[in-house]
Amino acid sequence: MLKIEPRPQPSKQMAYLSPLIAVGLTLVTGVIFSLLVGLNPLSAFHAFFISPIDDLYGLGELGVKAAPLMLIAVGLAIGFRSNVWNIGAEGQLTFGAICGGGLALYFYEVESAWILPIMILGGAVGGMLWASIPAFLRTRFNTNEILVSLMLNYVAILLLSYLVHDPWRDPDGFNFPESRLFSDSALLPVVLEGTRLHLGIIIALIAVVLGWIFVRKSFVGYQMQVAGLADLAALYAGFKRKRMVWIGLLVGGGAAGIAGLCEVAGPIGQLLPSVSPGYGYAAIIVAFVGRLHPIGILLASLLMSLLYLGGESAQMDLGLPSAITGVFQGVLLFYLLGADLFINFRVKITKTVATRSVGEVAS
């Protein structure tokens, strides 16, 4: 008989093993799936995991996609650890892109080394402003920050749509809903020659380090962790809940805002009606796959990015439909959540009825 029982303490080993088990099972599923549809599993594996990153440009693309996920997820994780549920990263990203990108348009064709730092600051402030709405409503009126932050996503996206359709529309653009292309001084420099890898990856990596210091070394980080694990204990210890809500949302919002600015000043180079293929939502998954830990998030963002690129090259090399990416991401998360069970629980093989009766006789 198999029995699942709670562990006395969460297993550290399993916390590290579970993502590996999940990846392993995803690969096994992939092999079975390939065989079922008559593909060579090796070439499928190659198309999915090797060919997207088999050259410098591919590695650069891995970073281009991973950077926003990493940056946003590190910021969100700080809130998530203390049970502050910011689901509005997509909106904060968009508002950050509006503020930072708006500055780029305001300083159109101005050549100055100050423009980029100002834009990055603008992105951060924009994201924080947008996140301060749910923070204020939560701390003042005790509203639910999940709902408020989520709904503000739509508001931010529609605001951007209005701006590129009307006031910020490119005057030479035949009325197409796009802003002008940013001038060169408002574009993030490329950090790896021959790729599109831009300054955003450096910012994301710095965020990982800062996130790690915050979690491990700072007293506020400690307070927030305690609050996440045991809210009442934190209150009893005199930790201020309101302050944590503010910190959680502002850090997440600021990170998302910078990520949004890096998208428009990086690979896109202008404001469009849509500036993110859902990074704000995907980052929530990345944060949890990475165990809300900065190093875990670093690895998880690379994995998510690779899965996405793999989906494209699977289309190109094998002619698989685009939906396959979503399937693989879903399968991976499914296994991960399944394997996570064993962090807090263990399987016990209970003795058979016969041995039990022997034991009873003996006693």
Partner 1 sequence: MRLMNISKLLLISTAGVMSAILSLAALGADSLKIGFVYVSPIGDAGWTYQHDQGRLQMEEALGGKVETKYIESVPEGGESERVIRQFATDGYGLVFTTSFGYMNPTIKVAKQFPKVVFEHATGYKSAKNVGTYVARFYEGRYLAGIVAGKMTKSNVAGYVAAFPIPEVLRGINAFTLGMRSVNPDATVKVIWVNSWFDPGREREAADVFIAQGADVVTHHTDSTAVVQAAEEAGVWSVGYHSDMSKYGPKSHLTAATHHWGDYYTKVAEEVMGGNWASTDIWWGIKEGMIKLAPLNQAVPEDVAKHVAEKEAAIKDGSLHPFQGPIKNQAGEEVVAAGTALTDEDLLKMEWYVEGVEGKLPK
Contact between 40 and partner 1 by CB under 8 A: the answer reads no
Q: Cα–Cα distance between 52 and 315 in angstroms, integer?
A: 11
Which range, of 95-103, 114-122, 214-222, 270-278, touches partner 1 by CB under 8 A? 270-278
Residues 200, 269, 290, 310: which binds partner 1 (CB under 8 A)? 269
Contact between 315 and partner 1 by CB under 8 A: the answer reads yes
Contact between 161 and partner 1 by CB under 8 A: the answer reads yes
Q: Cα–Cα distance between 251 and 49 in angstroms, integer?
A: 33
Distances (CA, A) of 113 to 96, 107, 117, 121: 20, 12, 8, 14
Q: Cα–Cα distance between 242 and 80 in angstroms, integer?
A: 15
Element counts in the chain: helices (H) and strands (E): 14, 2
Q: Cα–Cα distance between 192 and 196 in angstroms, integer?
A: 7
Instruction: Give min distance, CB of 323 to partner 1, in A.
Output: 8
Closest CA to 262 of 75, 72, 132, 79: 72
What's 78-94 look like in SS3?
HHHHCCCCCCCHHHHHH
Contact between 241 and partner 1 by CB under 8 A: the answer reads no
Closer by beta carbon to partner 1, 172 or else 360: 172
Closest CA to 39 of 51, 30, 27: 30
Instruction: Give min distance, CB of 322 to partner 1, in A.
Output: 4
Contact between 260 and partner 1 by CB under 8 A: the answer reads no
Three-class secondary structure of residue 198 per DSSP: strand
Instruction: Give min distance, CB of 58 to partner 1, in A.
Output: 9
Contact between 159 and partner 1 by CB under 8 A: the answer reads no
Contact between 50 and partner 1 by CB under 8 A: the answer reads yes
Closer by beta carbon to partner 1, 144 or else 274: 274
Contact between 15 and partner 1 by CB under 8 A: the answer reads no
Instruction: Give min distance, CB of 176 to partner 1, in A.
Output: 5
- For residue 357, how many other CB atoms are within 10 A of its CB? 11
Instruction: Give min distance, CB of 236 to partner 1, in A.
Output: 42
Residues 57, 108, 212, 222: which binds partner 1 (CB under 8 A)? 57
Residues lying near partner 1 in the complex (CB under 8 A): 46, 50-51, 53-55, 57, 61, 64, 161, 165-166, 174-177, 181, 196, 263, 266-270, 272-275, 277, 309, 312-313, 315-316, 319, 321-323
